[in-house]
Structure 1
Amino acid sequence: MIKPYYFFLLLSISSLFSCGKKEAENLVSIESLRIDSGLISGKTDSSGLVKIFKGIPFAAPPLGELRWKAPQPVAAWEGVKACTENPAAPMQKPPVPFFAWSAEFLIPAEPISEDCLYLNVWTAAEKADEKRPVMVWIYGGGFNSGGNTVPLYDGEDLAKAGIVVVNLNYRVGMLGFLAHPELTAESPDQTSGNYGILDQIAALEWVKRNIAAFGGDPENVTIAGQSAGAFSVNALVVSPKAKGLFHKAIAQSGGMFNRGSGLVSGLQGAEERGKQLTDTLGISLGELRKIPADSLLKIQGRFGPVVDGKILPSVRQAFEEGKFSDVPLLTGWNADDRVSGNQPNTPEEFKANAKKQYGGRAGEYLQLFPAGNEVELEETLKTIGVLGFGFQNYTWARMQSEKGQDKAYVYYFTRVPPGEPNYGAFHSAEFSYAFHTLRNWNRPFEQADYALEKTMSSYWVNFVKTGNPNGEGIPEWPVFDPENPLVIELGAEVKTRALPYWEQMKFMESLNR
Structure 2
Amino acid sequence: MKKLLMLCVILVAAGSFAFAKGNAEPGKSIPTTPPEMPIVKVSGGQLKGFVEGDGTLAFTGVRYAVAERFGKPQPVPAWQGIKPAQVYGPIPMVPEQTAVGYDEFVWPHRYYIQSEDCQYLNLWTQTLSSSAKKPVMIFIHGGSFNNGSAMEAVSYEGGNLSKFGDVVVITVNHRINVLGYLDLSSFGDAYKDTTNLGQLDLIAALQWVQENVAQFGGDPNNVTIFGQSGGCRKVQSLLHMPAAEGLFSKAIGHSSIYNPITQEQANRIGQLTVQKLGLTAATLDQIKTIDYRTLLAAGVYALGEAGKEYGISFSGWNVSIDNVTLLATYPEFAKSIPFIQGTVFSEAANNNLNLIAQGINKNTWTAAETDQYLAKRFGSDAAAVKAAFTGLFPEKKPQDAFFYDIGRRGPTLDYLVEKAQSGSAPVYNYLFAFEAPVNGGVLPFHCSELTYVFHNVNLREVTRATGGTVDVYKMQDVMAQAWINFARTGNPSQPGLEWKPFDPATKTGTLVFDTNSRFAPLDDQNLRQIMAAR
Q: Same fold by TM-score, threshold 0.5 exceeded?
A: yes
Partner Cα distance (1:125, 1:194) in 2:
35
Q: CA deviation at 1:90?
A: 0.3
CA RMSD between the two structures: 3.0
Match of 2:203 among 195, 201, 204: 201
Q: CA deviation at 1:125?
A: 1.3
Deviations 1:171-223 (A, max 9, x none): 11101111124555324xx4533111111111000000110010100000001
Say if 2:140 and 2:172, in contact at 8 Å, map to a contact too.
Answer: yes
Match of 1:55 among 58, 61, 67: 61
Match of 2:341 among 301, 321, 331: 331
Q: CA deviation at 1:37?
A: 1.1
- In structure 1, the residue matched to 2:472 is 449
Q: CA deviation at 1:392?
A: 3.3
- In structure 2, the residue matched to 1:359 is none
Pair 1:413-2:411 in alignment:
no
Task: Give the count of matched residue pairs.
Answer: 439
Match of 1:308 among 322, 331, 340: 322
- In structure 2, the residue matched to 1:100 is 103
- In structure 2, the residue matched to 1:355 is none
Say if 1:225 and 1:232, in contact at 8 Å, map to a contact too.
Answer: yes
Partner Cα distance (1:294, 1:305) in 2:
21
Partner Cα distance (1:423, 1:313) in 2:
40
- In structure 1, the residue matched to 2:250 is 248
Unmatched segments (≥5 aa) in structure 1: 10-29, 341-369, 508-513
Partner Cα distance (1:199, 1:211) in 2:
17
Pair 1:152-2:129 in alignment:
no
- In structure 2, the residue matched to 1:34 is 41
Q: CA deviation at 1:400?
A: 3.1
- Find the residue that maps to 2:135 and give its secondary structure: strand
Q: CA deviation at 1:298?
A: 3.9
Match of 1:477 among 487, 499, 508: 499
Pair 1:46-2:76 in alignment:
no
- Find the residue that maps to 2:269 and give its secondary structure: helix
Say if 1:338 and 1:426, in contact at 8 Å, map to a contact too.
Answer: yes
Q: Which amino acid aligns with 1:36?
A: S
What aligned pairs does 1:397-412 form with structure 2 within 5 A after superposition? 397-412=416-431
Distance change (3 Å), C-alpha of 1:216 and 1:480: same
Match of 1:391 among 403, 410, 416: 410
Distance change (3 Å), C-alpha of 1:459 and 1:323: closer
- Find the residue that maps to 2:83 and give its secondary structure: strand
Of 247-256 and 290-299, deviating more is 290-299
Partner Cα distance (2:269, 2:206) in 1:
30
Pair 1:210-2:224 in alignment:
no
Q: CA deviation at 1:104?
A: 4.5
Q: Which amino acid aligns with 1:280?
A: K
Q: Which amino acid aligns with 1:434?
A: V
- In structure 2, the residue matched to 1:502 is 525
- In structure 2, the residue matched to 1:358 is none
Distance change (3 Å), C-alpha of 1:277 and 1:126: closer
Q: CA deviation at 1:70?
A: 1.5
Partner Cα distance (1:145, 1:38) in 2:
31
Say if 1:248 and 1:467, in contact at 8 Å, map to a contact too.
Answer: yes
Q: CA deviation at 1:402?
A: 2.7
What aligned pairs does 1:368-379 form with structure 2 within 5 A after superposition? 373=380
Match of 2:223 among 208, 213, 221: 221
Say if 1:194 and 1:305, in contact at 8 Å, map to a contact too.
Answer: yes
Which structure would you say has the larger Rg? 2
Distance change (3 Å), C-alpha of 1:113 and 1:384: same
Match of 2:177 among 173, 189, 192: 173
Q: Which amino acid aligns with 1:327?
A: I
Of 108-117 and 397-406, deviating more is 397-406
- In structure 1, the residue matched to 2:79 is 77
Partner Cα distance (1:94, 1:3) in 2:
43
Match of 1:137 among 119, 136, 139: 139
- Find the residue that maps to 2:484 and give its secondary structure: helix
Deviations 1:322-358 (A, max 9, x none): 6734211122111112469xxxxxxxxxxxxxxxxxx
Q: CA deviation at 1:151?
A: 1.5
Say if 1:50 and 1:122, in contact at 8 Å, map to a contact too.
Answer: yes
Distance change (3 Å), C-alpha of 1:215 and 1:112: same
Partner Cα distance (2:493, 2:384) in 1:
39
Partner Cα distance (1:141, 1:500) in 2:
30
Distance change (3 Å), C-alpha of 1:392 and 1:77: farther
What aligned pairs does 1:217-296 form with structure 2 within 5 A after superposition? 217-256=219-258, 261=259, 264-283=260-279, 284-296=283-295
Say if 1:183 and 1:191, in contact at 8 Å, map to a contact too.
Answer: no
Partner Cα distance (2:411, 2:403) in 1:
12
Q: Which amino acid aligns with 1:127?
A: S
- In structure 1, the residue matched to 2:167 is 163
Distance change (3 Å), C-alpha of 1:91 and 1:451: same
- In structure 2, the residue matched to 1:466 is 489
Say if 2:144 and 2:230, in contact at 8 Å, map to a contact too.
Answer: yes
Say if 1:117 and 1:199, in contact at 8 Å, map to a contact too.
Answer: yes
Q: CA deviation at 1:123?
A: 0.3
Partner Cα distance (1:323, 1:32) in 2:
35
What aligned pairs does 1:333-348 form with structure 2 within 5 A after superposition? 333-338=343-348
Q: CA deviation at 1:424?
A: 2.5
Say if 2:256 and 2:412, in contact at 8 Å, map to a contact too.
Answer: yes
Distance change (3 Å), C-alpha of 1:325 and 1:292: farther
TM-score, length-scaled by structure 2: 0.75
TM-score, length-scaled by structure 1: 0.78
Partner Cα distance (1:204, 1:310) in 2:
19
Identity of aligned residues (%): 28
Partner Cα distance (1:125, 1:6) in 2:
21
Partner Cα distance (2:187, 2:168) in 1:
36
